[in-house]
Structure 1
Amino acid sequence: MLKLPNIHWRKSIFFRLVITYLLVNIPIVMLGLYLYYWSYNNARNDISSATRTQLTYYLKDLNREVEWIEMQQYDLLKDNKIVKLAVTWELMNSVERRENLNYVLHKISIMKNSSKYIQDVKVHIPSNSKTLSINDSISDLDYDEYDALKISVNINQQRISCMNEELNLVAFKYGGGSKRDPLYIVQIELNKNYIKDTLQQLNFYSDSKSVLYFETLELAISSNQDFQSVIERYLDKNLENKATMTLIKLEDDNYHIDQVYSKELDTSIMTFLSEKTLRKPLNFFSKWVWLFVLSSILAIVIVYYTTYKIIHRPLIQLVRGFESMGAGKLNSLIEHDKKDEFGYLYTRYNQMLKKLNNLIDADYKQKMMMQKSELKQLQSQINPHFLYNSFFILNSLAKVGDVERIEQFTVMLGEYFRFITRDKEDFVLLSEEVKHSRIYADIQELRFSRRIRVKFDELPKEMERIKVPRLIIQPIIENAYEHGLEKKSEMGLLHVTFKTLNQAISIIIEDNSETLNNGQLKELQFRLKNVGEANEMTGMMNIHRRLQLIFGDRSGLYLERSELKGLKVTIYIELSP
């Protein structure tokens, strides 16, 4: 055990807490947990085993019933009377037609009565546009339903198909060796209500629910319609899970789920049983449970009081001291007379506050003053080269007598110098910073109108009111002209775009100067990463350093090769949430 200065080991918080927990909690917790989980696991496993056995029998019985229906369907599919109705309808007289139709209706009626799983039997004959069914007798063929039936079977490629949320066994009869269009279709609609009734019989408990889920069809049939939302949530989470037993929380209740899968039907059957019901066999141990609860409460009270007195109250005092320090109150010393670990922490905390005050005075304030001085220096810089060129443009416009462009140019020049020489505000709206940069670009465009084209994308509305330091875009544009675009004889391009990210924004300035080689690019990238160690503080380095000081280390400038084959500068700013 770590021994701190002036603290006896018997007075340490660690020693007292360990003895308290060992003497009070461990015997009670071990006894209670053993009894509880032993009883619960036995009850759960017994119920789960019996349930899965019953579910397996249910699926086997359902599969046998479906096979029986399919045999009758196959027999009906091969019936010569139906073949005659489909092939020789036009050659029959009315008496023959009636006899054959009655024969088919009688046969499908017998088929329907042979199984409670059959809701209806339909024979769709497109050659005479007739549908024969038990429920509707003889009716005109619904071609939309007929086509949908063919599509549903072709898509699912399963024994059981689904159309309009109804389960069907569908078989086609082809003639003449052609499988393009069937002579007729035999459709057996399964009785969903009867299936629900059989599922209800699987529920041994009043609050248990049974579900039959057809995997490929993504169709679930439940014994309780009100339980449908819980079933859908379970299927969304466990669609690929074929586990025989699952415990999952759905709609603020824990459910024990037993599941059995039938490969022949591609169908799963599952039962949902509330965990509360599973715990009912534990009623026999109610006295033990109450004893466990009362003992646990007593243990919690003892541990809480001990923890509060020994740890919580002193810790809160230390936390409040750190909160005051975080709020800027660096004179909030902690008065104490403790001789344990917290006394040691309080003493070190007070010493830390005093040292922190000294460090702020000696380093932090000095650093911030230096950065502010660098900012003022950058803001006060006026490029003489830019100023000479501006006078040259004015002189050229005056010679040709272009008064309108002289007026336009002088207004832009006035706005430009007004923005860079004002000292009252260190931060401006991003819309103002972009406007200033546009003015600078417009002035340069007058000078290089035939050789350099400037493209500014529209500033998104949500970015207009963001506060940024002054002069973070225009110096980068100026750098692009000075070191790249001025040297191009034609087809120069400067492109400025804006992007909003998650709690961040990006301003991208790129050109097609092609004057920057890979070695120079890597050197610039290295200097940005080590800007604190650079001897020369250029405009670009100053911008990068200011952004990091204001918005955090992840903000700043990022340099890379532009898709235009020039330099791409990304101004990345992370915003506070």
Structure 2
Amino acid sequence: MVILLIPITLLYIYSNKTTTDVLRSELNTSNSDQLRFFQNQVETNMELLASWPILLIHDPDILSLKDEHLELGHLNLHTMNLIKRIQTKISIQESSSNWKSKLYLYSPSLQRLVIENDVTTYKNADLLQEVKAGWQVEKLQDQSGDRFRFSWFSFTPFMSEFSPEKVNSIMKVEFDSRNIEDMLDKFKSDGRRDPFYYKPGTGLIYNHSADLLFVNKLVRRLEQKQIMGSENRTLDIEGESYSINIVYSDKMGWYLIDYIPLSEILQPIHNSNRLFYISVSALLLMGSLIAYLLYIQVQVPVRHLIGGFQRLKQGDYSARVELKGKNEFSFLSGRFNTMVEQTQELIENVLMEKIHVREARLKQLQSQINPHFFYNCLSFITSMAKLDNMGAVVAMSHNLSRYYRYTTRQERDLVALSEETEFVTHYLEIQGMRMSRLQYTVNIPPKMLKLELPPLVLQPLVENAILHGIQPLAEAGRVRITGYCSGKVMMLTVEDDGQGMNAEDRAELEGRLGRPMTEEMSCGLWNVYQRMRLRFGDQASLSFTASPLGGLQATLQWLLPPNQEDKR
């Protein structure tokens, strides 16, 4: 179920991402279009106000004002009536727009500033500083916060470089940023957020309900990366992601900015995602429950059966499968247990027969050692008697009696290595009497002397070293017996300084140990190898290498059985 749900989940995630991207793209496009529409409305109002000075400056009354002059520094009656008519026209023009605006008429010939309800003087120097091309913005401050005053100048005749003394009439239209704020309030009433105007280095124009603290944070984030005209951005502010739409006005030089939290936009998608993931989790939970029931009802019984067969395959005939419930698996388990019980009984009967055969073979192999060594001893006694060496005969007879005392007590299958070592020492003493140049050393760790092994496995190795290694070589005469133990690995080495054997002969000798005994094969070595293999299994070995003494080194190696680990 997990494998099936993975591609479904991946496909849903891809589809959801595609839907989200399309939604955000369409929403950004829609927001940008609405902002541009609002921007056009603002620009239309500003263009309308900017057209007023152009229209009024060509009014006949205003055009005739250039021909009026002061008389003794005062206005005459005709001029005052003319100004009254002009003020009426200015008042009518100001009231024709929804925006609160104000018109100013400058008369260079009279040096008077005419407004709706007043006439004042002005200075050409001040006017020269004010008159500039395009909309001019002046920042004002009052108790409610920053405000901005927009103004537009028009004069006649037109000239590339403005000069108050050379123009006939000058008109200025002026409006307050509160007009834009009112439009922002109406724009927000359509369900939008809090759009605002921003101009770097100048300030902000926002509606009356705007969160000024958040707007300032947003502007600071925007200033971290230069604003490149109209664009869309996504910013993280106070742990919340916002979609930012920016529209630039070429006529105003201001940016109209709107922001919407993505959580509000994507809330329906998030709800759909939550429902989908809950459904997937429920499916996984139900699938896990079904899988658990299948595991308990099917897989566990099958595993128990397989485990029973594996144990049976490894030779464990005590394996049994526990019966649970009354179903097909309990029937199979019962038949399996019956089969194993019958097989175990059969195997035990066969093993008992094999044990009896093995014990008989061990007795047979052990009996082959006794006469072999006995014949050698009798031959030595005969030789010493012919030489009238009665001391050697007595010593040999004494050691031979000890030998028979040792061998006649070998109803045991295993003897301690200490007893075997003592027996080999008697044998070496006998050989030392027959061969005066013979010297021997025995170095076996005390912890190995307690170990048990088949009797008469060390003496044939020593005998082989003396008869086939030292005896044929006149200058040879050293025998060294050493014991080693490493973990469960036990080793006994018997080495001499005799004539030794080359590598090919050593390999041939080791190969003959595993084959049936022939006349050319040494009875003692073959006997030792076979008895060690029967007693300690296939891990037991008898190998031959060159000895550091110069002759041959025989190594007897076996693994310590578990029942002898406490004897080390």
> RCO greater where, 1 or 2, for CA within 8 Å and sep 6 or more?
1
TM over 0.5: no
TM-score (norm 2): 0.43
